[in-house]
Amino acid sequence: MRLYAQTRARRCRQVLADLIAMALLAAAVWFAMTVHDGIMLLAEPGRKVEDAGGSLASGLGDAGDAASHVPLVGGILKKPLQSAAEASNGLSDAGQSMQDMVGRVADLTALVLIVTSVAIVLALWLPPRVRWIRRSARIRGLFDAPGGADLLALRALTGPVRDLASISVPPGGLADAWRRADERVISDLSQVALRQVGLRP
């Protein structure tokens, strides 16, 4: 199985198509990561809320501990401060939840962009490459098979006339020579059929 043509022009086109496909895939991944980073900027308020809630909860907890040492009313003062600290912890948890949600949205968006881009590029690039690989293998097998050169010669005769310019026999006489089983003409025509798909004898 041959992945690339043997003739220079077709091989260059195939390599160029492969490079373009890889460049498009790289650009798609870069774009998806840029979008991901842009969405993650929306998590900044959540980080600030989490930090503020954590700081407030810590401060209120410390104040509650200090208030508990006040004689007679220490227990009374500590309870509301502890309640406020717990509420601040809830605020901190809300900030963390917001960050988690933004992170999930960013990850999902980047994944969808990458999968969609890869699917589009593969749908445009892969089928022609697979068709060429199968076609070249089929024609190469035909060329090597007994009597295959006759069929390839017929294929060349039914192809573009400009491809027959390399054969010294006039195009009108090629069909007659093929019918007479002229070995030289059949060999020349079969090589034309090979070149048409980018192969060499």
Please work out, in degrees rounded to the nearest 5, the angle formed at the alpha carbon of residue 123 by the alpha carbons of 117 and 128.
140
Residue 4 CB coordination number (10 Å): 16
Question: What is the pLDDT averaged over residues 122-133?
Answer: 90
CB-based burial, 109-125: b 16+ in 10 Å, e otherwise: ebeebbeebeeebeeeb
How big is the chain, counted in residues?
201
Q: Report d(CA 89, CA 81) in Å as an integer.
A: 12
Residue extents of the structural domains in the chain: 1-136, 145-201
pLDDT tens digits for range 5-42: 888 888 898 899 999 999 999 999 999 999 998 888 88
Q: What is the pTM of this model?
A: 0.67
